[in-house]
Structure 1
Amino acid sequence: MEKTDSHSWLQALGLEQHDSKQNVILRYLHDNQISVAMFVFFVVMAIRSLVSRQRDAAKTGANRHYLEAPSFPEIDGLDKFDWKTEDPIKLRTFKPKYYLTMAIQNLDPSELLTMDRTYVERVKYRSKIIAESSDICIRVHDDARIRPAVIELYTYLLSHYLPKRFPQMFKLHYASFETGNQFMLENLVTKQVFATEPTNVTPTETLLKTLGMTVDEDFLFLLTEEGAESSDPKYVFQALVCICPSGWDPREKIGQSLASIHAPVPGYADKLESSMDRYFKNIEVGKYVKRSNWAITQHEELFMPDPNSNHAKQDEQVEAVTEIDPDKTFLRCERQTLHRLPKSKALVFAFKTYMDTMRDIKLEGLGDDLADAIDGLRTGNVPAMSHYKRSPVWGQAVKEYLRS
């Protein structure tokens, strides 16, 4: 009777049942020691791996959503920037008289690249041109010095500039890749993902292609002539990704000096060559500059590698048009930038192309100003610029529309 009472009492307290559960667990652990040990091992390794990755990420700055780039100037992030509502920049640098000068202005390094509401349309167009005409728009000269320069700009833009400057559009991830764990840049707009550091076997052309599909700027890399020991070295175009050439073929410019590239431009040899060479030689790391140009074209295509499309040779006979379509005749402007890379010391010349119709210009109230600037092509310091820009073809018809 006492034993039964004691048993009932233990049941009432739940201790006997609890002890039974413990025994079951102990027997399971004893019978499955290897499985349990393996489970614990993998859990521990997973935790260690996670902690290690977090530690590595913190060391490299990924905890702030971008990697550090101490060799480059400090830039400001646009935390509240809305690219979907941002209008394209309006470049209105035309003047009553055309003077061929460098017209360089200082540039805030934060403003190296620009983004606006045309981004999706533009990168789709750029990807299409690259897919169809990569042999024209992506070129690399046979010079071993150029690959480190391309890698330097590529790594800087993808790991630092883009995720820091435009965090609403680009995001950095620390993830597994074909070469192991590394940082990847996700384009939040196009959903593309690219490694921020190329492997040794990644072709230089592939890096240029990625840049061409990711931003709306074209990049041209310049280095001094290979083996040149002159105190006044000449700079040569060594690599480029150029989706928006305006009347020039990138295939003909690669490996050429500044003087050779600008040979068709009236007045360049007399007005600009020496000052351009001197400026390119002396521009220091950390110095960023910009300038802009303008032209009028009856082509709406951005990709215009045909040298005869927007320019006329000195002795070329051209025929004037009697009228224009104001929605298919464009003011074509380039926002050009220049800076020197800190490690490779290569110069990076970049430009973004903007297109505005004649109707847009007139609606802005600038019709008379642009018409005066067209007349001014003949009255500046290089009168031949009027023929070079094909003004005799469209000039009179455009002026009549703008002044009407």
Structure 2
Amino acid sequence: MLEAGFLVLFIGALLLSHKQIKSVILPQNFISKPKNSLKTKENDESESISKPSPLMITPEEVANYDDRPWRPFRWPYHQTMSIFKLDINHWLDMDKYYQHYINEKKRIRMKYGKQNFDWLPEGYDACFELMETVTQHMLNRYPLLFTLLKDGKGKVVKNEVTNEILDMSLPLKQHPLIYVSKMAKEDFYVVLKNPKDGLHYLVAAAVPFPGGSFGIDSKIGKHLDIIHEDVPYYKEKLQKSMERWFNKMNVNEPVERASWYITWDSHLKVNNIYQIAKFKPNLKLEMESTDPKDFNVRVERQTLRRLPKSQAIIFTNHPVFYSIEEMKDEPMIPSILKKILYEGPQDILKYKNFEFIRDHLSDYLDKLIKRQYELAIINEETPLKTQPNYPFAHWVKTDFDQLKGWNNPSDSYSKQHMKTHGFNKEKLANNE
């Protein structure tokens, strides 16, 4: 589905929508902790986790906050890792869609269960450490949004945005990933290395927002190579580098990147572009009857980090929608989108279903390109290439104010425009 990148787990486990994947059994004696997993601050300072700076926003102010304005559009459009060092302040960002994402996580978990939330016993310690890490991160980063009510044998925390009390006292009443999903809007994957064969396996996942029609339950316990065997260019360009990357990754070296595709809806579990006829038999007619102005770019904001105790690799994914219309006056964006839709690598065009929508969007993009010429945003001498502020919008500085967070300053952007406005769960397809 989406663009292959530095974490092949996401590319296959998230992006392969309805393709069948071979079953793989975990090797015997699979254990959740490598021999060096007991590193602590006392014996290895480099393995301690960096703390974020406090962001003093109130629950009422959350509705005015945006994610950083991603524009991950490149030309030439090659399959590359395109990773950036992650500022820990932006590991779990807060934005105006937070309440909607939390509500949808609960709805999807209650309706679909193991299809989107699944785990192996071998991954429990890593999930528990993740829960502790997310809890402490939210308390440190958002002290006015998360209140510590009790700290002893496990924490009791109040989410001030949702007004939910999260009782994580021991023994836990729910799996650690459930508590994580009640605090953070991101999807989470937990990957562990098996010291017997030196390879990485998916041992737990809380993924309500994959964007495609597949189940996480069918991927738990699988080796990354098998999960990604149908991903374009995986064997040729990514397979060896992924294992090397995982093996060398240190605790305080988190990274981030962004992938993207185009759709005409803002659903989270299954986007229209990856729907199947069983659930939407009139999909082409629906697509062609949708005004191109209503098409969105779904940006998948992804992070990767290692936990110090379990040595688990934690991958997060968070979808953010931007309408093509709101980007119409950003230099070269319409031109790059048009170029990619028709001249990108063939395997990627098929993988993202660009061929399905491009003719419907072609005239609209041409009008936007013409508009940029008329407004002197670009001219005949402007080279068609990745823009200097990649992967962010042209008007922003990449050294975001860590204390004030991020508010979108674009004159053309309305704070009242919510992608979740008009969301009606009664109109969702049966697999959404």
Deviation (angstroms), 1:197:
4.4
| Cα distance in 2, alignment partners of residues 285 and 170 from structure 1 | 25
How do 1:50-199 residues align onto structure 2 when only pairs under 5 Å count?
Answer: 71-80=48-57, 82-141=61-120, 143-144=121-122, 146-158=123-135, 160-174=136-150, 183-199=155-171
Q: 1:181 to 1:229 in 2, by over 3 A?
A: closer
Residues 1:339 and 2:302 aligned together:
no
Letter in 1 for 2:49: F
| Cα distance in 2, alignment partners of residues 306 and 346 from structure 1 | 33
Deviation (angstroms), 1:182:
5.7
* Structure having the larger proportion of residues in helix: 1
Per-residue deviation, residues 41-83 of structure 1 (Å, max 9, x unmatched):
xxxxxxxxxxxxxxxxxxxxxxxxxxxxx93223211135742
Residues 1:386 and 2:366 aligned together:
no
Deviation (angstroms), 1:139:
0.4
Give yes or no for contact 1:93–1:293 (8 Å, CA) kept in 2: yes
**Higher alpha-carbon deviation: 261-270 or 215-224:** 261-270
Equivalent residue number for residue 234 of structure 1: 199
Equivalent residue number for residue 373 of structure 1: 340
Letter in 2 for 1:218: D
| Cα distance in 1, alignment partners of residues 351 and 242 from structure 2 | 20
| Cα distance in 2, alignment partners of residues 138 and 396 from structure 1 | 37
Bigger radius of gyration among the two: 1
The TM-score with structure 1 as length reference comes to: 0.70
Q: 1:328 to 1:302 in 2, by over 3 A?
A: farther
Could you say which structure has the greater relative contact order, defined with CA pairs below 8 angstroms and 6 or more residues apart? 2
Give yes or no for contact 2:114–2:216 (8 Å, CA) kept in 1: no
| Cα distance in 2, alignment partners of residues 345 and 305 from structure 1 | 33
How do 1:211-360 residues align onto structure 2 when only pairs under 5 Å count?
Answer: 211-225=180-194, 228-230=195-197, 233-247=198-212, 248-304=214-270, 308-309=274-275, 324-326=290-292, 328-360=294-326
Letter in 2 for 1:74: K
Could you list the runs of 5+ residues in structure 2 that have no partner in the other structure?
A: 1-46, 277-282, 368-432
1:352 aligns to what SS in structure 2? strand
Q: 1:376 to 1:213 in 2, by over 3 A?
A: farther
1:266 aligns to what SS in structure 2? coil
Q: 1:193 to 1:322 in 2, by over 3 A?
A: closer
Q: Aligned-residue CA RMSD in angstroms?
A: 2.6
Q: 1:375 to 1:393 in 2, by over 3 A?
A: same
| Cα distance in 2, alignment partners of residues 268 and 307 from structure 1 | 22
Deviation (angstroms), 1:213:
2.6
Deviation (angstroms), 1:308:
5.0
**Higher alpha-carbon deviation: 166-175 or 388-397:** 166-175
Q: 1:387 to 1:181 in 2, by over 3 A?
A: closer
Per-residue deviation, residues 288-336 of structure 1 (Å, max 9, x unmatched):
11111111123431102999539xxxxxxx9796564235422111111
| Cα distance in 2, alignment partners of residues 258 and 197 from structure 1 | 34
Could you list the runs of 5+ residues in structure 1 that have no partner in the other structure?
A: 1-69, 311-317
| Cα distance in 2, alignment partners of residues 327 and 307 from structure 1 | 16
Letter in 2 for 1:239: A
Letter in 2 for 1:386: L
| Cα distance in 2, alignment partners of residues 234 and 298 from structure 1 | 38
Give yes or no for contact 1:218–1:351 (8 Å, CA) kept in 2: yes
**Higher alpha-carbon deviation: 248-257 or 214-223:** 248-257
Letter in 2 for 1:188: E
Letter in 2 for 1:165: R
Equivalent residue number for residue 361 of structure 1: 327
Deviation (angstroms), 1:96:
2.5
**Higher alpha-carbon deviation: 71-80 or 393-402:** 71-80
Letter in 2 for 1:126: K
Give yes or no for contact 1:218–1:242 (8 Å, CA) kept in 2: yes
| Cα distance in 2, alignment partners of residues 209 and 391 from structure 1 | 35
Letter in 2 for 1:389: K
Give yes or no for contact 1:222–1:235 (8 Å, CA) kept in 2: yes
The TM-score with structure 2 as length reference comes to: 0.66
Q: 1:90 to 1:376 in 2, by over 3 A?
A: farther
